[in-house]
Structure 1
Amino acid sequence: MTLDIGIKELEAARRIFGDRLPLAERFVEHLASSGIDRGLLGPREVPRLWDRHVLNCAVIAELIPEKARVADVGSGAGLPGLALAIARPDAMFVLIEPLERRVNWLREVTDDLGLENVEIFRGRAEQAVGKFQVDVVTARAVSALSGLAALTIPLLKGSGEVLAIKGRSAGEEVTKAAKIIRRLGGVATSVETVGGALLEEPTTVVRIVVAR
Structure 2
Amino acid sequence: MATTDPLAAGLQALGQSLPDDRRERLLAYRDELARWGRVHNLTSVLDPERMVPVHLLDSLALAPLLRGERIADIGSGGGLPGLPLAIADPDLGVTLVEPRTKRALFLEHIVRTLGLGNVIVERARVEDLPPSATFDTLVTRAFGSLAEFGAAAGHLAAPGGCLLAAKGRDPAREIEALGPDWMVEVVPLVVPGVDAQRHAVRMVRRGEPAGAGMDDQETTG
TM class, shorter-length: 0.7 to 0.9
Instruction: Output the CA distance in 2 between the equivalents of 1:206 and 1:145.
Output: 9
Offset from partner CA, 1:140-190 (integer Å, 9 cap, x none): 1110111111112111155411110011042221112234xx0xxx3x201
Instruction: Output the CA distance in 1 between the equivalents of 2:75 and 2:184.
Output: 21
Asked if the contact 1:97–1:124 (Cα under 8 Å) also holds between the matched residues in 2, the reply is yes
Query: What are the residue-to-residue correspondences of 1:4-23 with 2, within 5 Å?
Result: 9-13=7-11, 16=16, 18-19=18-19, 20-23=22-25
Q: How far does residue 208 in structure 1 lie from its aligned partner after superposition?
A: 0.7
Which deviates more, 129-138 or 104-113? Answer: 129-138
Amino acid at match of 2:18: G
Query: What are the residue-to-residue correspondences of 1:101-112 with 2, within 5 Å?
Result: 101-112=102-113
Q: How far does residue 209 in structure 1 lie from its aligned partner after superposition?
A: 1.9
Asked if the contact 1:129–1:154 (Cα under 8 Å) also holds between the matched residues in 2, the reply is no
Which deviates more, 155-164 or 11-20? Answer: 11-20
Instruction: Output the CA distance in 1 between the equivalents of 2:39 and 2:193.
Output: 28
User: Residue 135 of structure 2 aligns to a residue in which SS?
Assistant: coil
Instruction: Output the CA distance in 1 between the equivalents of 2:142 and 2:47.
Output: 15
CA 1:24–1:13: 2 relative to 1, 3 Å: farther
User: Residue 154 of structure 1 aligns to a residue in which SS?
Assistant: helix
Q: How far does residue 114 in structure 1 lie from its aligned partner after superposition?
A: 0.9
Identity over the aligned pairs, expressed in percent?
Answer: 29
Instruction: Output the CA distance in 2 between the equivalents of 1:49 and 1:117.
Output: 23
Instruction: Output the CA distance in 1 between the equivalents of 2:75 and 2:60.
Output: 16
Query: What are the residue-to-residue correspondences of 1:119-138 with 2, within 5 Å?
Result: 119-138=120-139
CA 1:117–1:134: 2 relative to 1, 3 Å: same
Report what 1:153 is aligned to: 154
Instruction: Output the CA distance in 2 between the equivalents of 1:69 and 1:115.
Output: 15
Asked if the contact 1:166–1:204 (Cα under 8 Å) also holds between the matched residues in 2, the reply is yes
- Point out 4+ residue stretches in structure 1 off by more than 4 angstroms: 6-9, 43-47, 198-202
Asked if the contact 1:192–1:206 (Cα under 8 Å) also holds between the matched residues in 2, the reply is yes
Which blocks of at least 5 consecutive residues in structure 2 are unaligned?
Answer: 210-221
Asked if the contact 1:31–1:77 (Cα under 8 Å) also holds between the matched residues in 2, the reply is yes
Query: What are the residue-to-residue correspondences of 1:36-115 with 2, within 5 Å?
Result: 36-42=38-44, 46-65=48-67, 68-115=69-116
Calculate the TM-score normalised by the size of structure 1.
0.84
Report what 1:204 is aligned to: 199
In proportion to residue count, which structure has more helix? 1
Which blocks of at least 5 consecutive residues in structure 1 are unaligned?
Answer: 1-5
Query: What are the residue-to-residue correspondences of 1:180-191 with 2, within 5 Å?
Result: 182=181, 186=182, 188-191=183-186
Report what 1:26 is aligned to: 28
Q: CA RMSD in A?
A: 2.3
Instruction: Output the CA distance in 2 between the equivalents of 1:177 and 1:103.
Output: 30
CA 1:131–1:107: 2 relative to 1, 3 Å: farther
CA 1:78–1:85: 2 relative to 1, 3 Å: same
Q: How far does residue 199 in structure 1 lie from its aligned partner after superposition?
A: 5.5
